[in-house]
Every structure is written in structure tokens, then in C-alpha cells.
Amino acid sequence: MKPDWDKLMKEYADHKTALVADVDCTTAGKPLCETHGVQGFPTIKYGDPASLEDYEGGRSFDALKKFADENLKPMCSPANLDLCDDAKKKEIEALQALDEKDLKAKIEEKEKEIKDAEENFSTEVKKLQEDYQKLQKEKEEKVKEVKDSGLGLYKAVKAARKKKTEL
């Protein structure tokens, strides 16, 4: 992926409104990565620097370039109200009217929803893994039981009959 990413950075090197860059999360970039929730490498983020989103698309140059061309442009935000439709402008204005405490509470509420969804996912995946392991063990025991009950002998008798009739 690195060569394709480097190629994309070159394509966007002189772009006036979009930045394509990389950050080394193991050295000087570590605080930035922690701020934006980077947990694995490579991680691709995009969007408003104050609220970056995870990129989930393809990792080839063509996929990255297509996504960049379609999405790396000024977007509706408090800094670009002229790009917003009326509904989004009203939503931004309502949020801007909140005091700091209320805005912080709303952010924490939404972050809790995400955390709850992630915890639920982890819990359910763990249950699935336990069920899978249990089913795998049951299957292996059943296969062993069937083989031990004479399946090999049945097959040997059948093969011997076939051989006898061919003669």
C-alpha cells in the first residue's frame, strides 16, 4: 500500500484545499494519532480535521485516487456554511447556539453511543467465537465417534465387493 499512498500524496502535493499525508504514529506523530483514535496501522482518516472519519475503502492507487477525487474537497461545516443546504445550516446554527457545557454533553452522549456499539460488537463476537469453538469440538467428537464405530471397515468391505465384481 505504501507505494500507492506515496503516489497519491504526489498527486495531491500542490492541491489548494486537500491534504494527503502520512503520520508516523510511533514517533513524533504519536500524540496526533492518539487524539484521532488511531489504533492499528495503516489507518486512513479523512474529512474535517476536527472530526476525522475512518476510510474503509480499497487500498490500491486507483481506489484511493477515486475516493480522493470524489471526497477530498471543501465540505459543509461551520467554516464553510456556504456549502451547506438550509437544513444543515440550521443544524449548525443550533449547535453553535449551545453553551460549552451543553455542547460537551452532546458530544459525550454521541461518543458513548459509539462506545456502547463497539462494546456490544465485542461482546457478541466473543459469544460467537465461544459458540464456534463449542460447535467445532462437538463436530470433531461426532466425526471421531462415527469413524470409531466402523466407518473405515464399512468402506473397506464396499471396496472389496467392488474389486470382487470387477474380476
Rounded-to-integer distance, Cα 79 and Cα 95, Å: 13
Q: How many CB atoms lie within 10 A of CB 11?
A: 15
Q: Where are the beta strands (DSSP E) in the chain?
A: 45-46, 53-54
Mean pLDDT score across all residues of the chain = 90
Q: Which domains does the chain have, with CATH numbers?
A: 1-97 (3.40.30.10)
In the chain, pLDDT over 70 holds for what percent of residues? 99
In the chain, pLDDT over 90 holds for what percent of residues? 49
Residue 45 above 90 pLDDT?
A: no
Which of the four pLDDT bands, split at 50, 70 and 90, describes residue 51?
confident
Residue of 105, 107, 48, 113 lying closest to 80 (CA atoms): 48
Question: In this predicted structure, what is the pLDDT of residue 62?
Answer: 92
Mean pLDDT on 87-109: 96
